[in-house]
Amino acid sequence: MGNLEGKIILITGAAKGMGAVEAGMAVERGATVILSDVIDGQLEATANALNSPFAHLDVTSKSDWGNTITQMMNDYGRIDGLVNNAGIFIQKTLFDDSADAFEAMAKVNQLGTYLGIECVAPIMREQKSGSIVNISSVAGLRGQRNIGYVASKFAVTGMTKAVALQLAKFNVRCNSVHPGAISTDMALGLGPSDVELLTSRTPMGRIGEPEEVSETVMFLLSDAASYLTGAEIAVDGGFIL
């Protein structure tokens, strides 16, 4: 399951954390993976460790997307998979003067995902094949206190379904993955007390590892998921239960 031999895949937010793990796993399974991020030094180091190409890509920039996709088409002639992994979390609630944080999260998490889809969808439609995997969150399935993050991740969940409807007849799939508390900088940056609280609310009694999310992403990118589109898959240890 999850064989990606010969596939051309772009992963955003791939310099570190879950994106880097996804990239490494996809390379191990035979894909050519283009890593992208805005953290240039770490991006180059991660890509070099995988012997993979990389591109500076600010997901909120339409021109960056255009440059990256054009280069990929020049180099490979097709794009088989896109993982919209890049995302940010700013810890704010409605009462924390949160408008700036709301806008920042909307730009990266929602607009960034949309721009990636907008760029690759015509290519995949012409190919009559492709898989788009959007990394949402359990915050895209149930309410939480952080209004900006929840709004952006619910948007990703909804966009996934709209795109799946539009592209299904072209044999292009679009699915969303919803991690719970995962051992990355984003989660661990919340602080020990918040991590402990998340763990206590997770039926499996622990936070997850990036590899556990990445396995689901690999499946969705692969031909083994050929009849799966518009799905929302929670990888959360039962958190949303």
Residues noted as catalytic: 149
Contact, 47 vs 69, CB < 8 A? no
Phi–psi pair at 37, nearest 5 degrees? -175, 180
Q: How far apart are CA 148 and CA 132, in angstroms?
A: 24
Contact, 8 vs 32, CB < 8 A? yes
**Which stretches does DSSP call E strand in the chain?**
8-11, 32-37, 54-56, 81-84, 130-135, 172-179, 232-235
Our CA angle for 133, 136, 140, nearest 5°, is 140
Instruction: Give SS3 for 25.
Output: helix
Contact, 181 vs 198, CB < 8 A? yes
Our CA angle for 6, 9, 12, nearest 5°, is 160
Contact, 160 vs 137, CB < 8 A? no
